[in-house]
């Protein structure tokens, strides 16, 4: 699960590159649009945290 979390976080960072390059304001379309754009990162962080708690 830890590896899957890291991969999802990396994919999230890669998905923001086109928005940054094009100058798109990701905060301009509302909360739910931002939540949808960040879904990969949110799931990745949850998986990473759960995997770390299981190791301890």
Tell me the whole-structure pTM to 2 decimals.
0.81
Backbone angles phi, psi at 29, to 5 degrees: -105, 5
* Cα distances (Å, whole numbers) of residue 35 to 3, 5, 28, 32: 23, 17, 12, 5
How high is the pLDDT of residue 43?
95
Determine the Cα–Cα distance for residues 39 and 34; give it in Å rounded to an integer: 9
In tens, the pLDDT along 5-16 reads 999 999 999 998
How high is the pLDDT of residue 13?
92
How high is the pLDDT of residue 8?
93
In tens, the pLDDT along 17-54 reads 998 899 888 888 899 988 998 999 999 999 999 998 98
């Amino acid at each position: 699960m830890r590896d899957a979390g890291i991969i999802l976080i990396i994919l999230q960072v890669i998905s923001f590159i086109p928005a940054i390059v094009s100058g798109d304001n990701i905060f301009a379309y509302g909360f739910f649009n931002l939540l949808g754009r960040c879904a990969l990162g949110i799931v990745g962080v949850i998986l990473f945290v759960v995997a770390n708690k299981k190791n301890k």
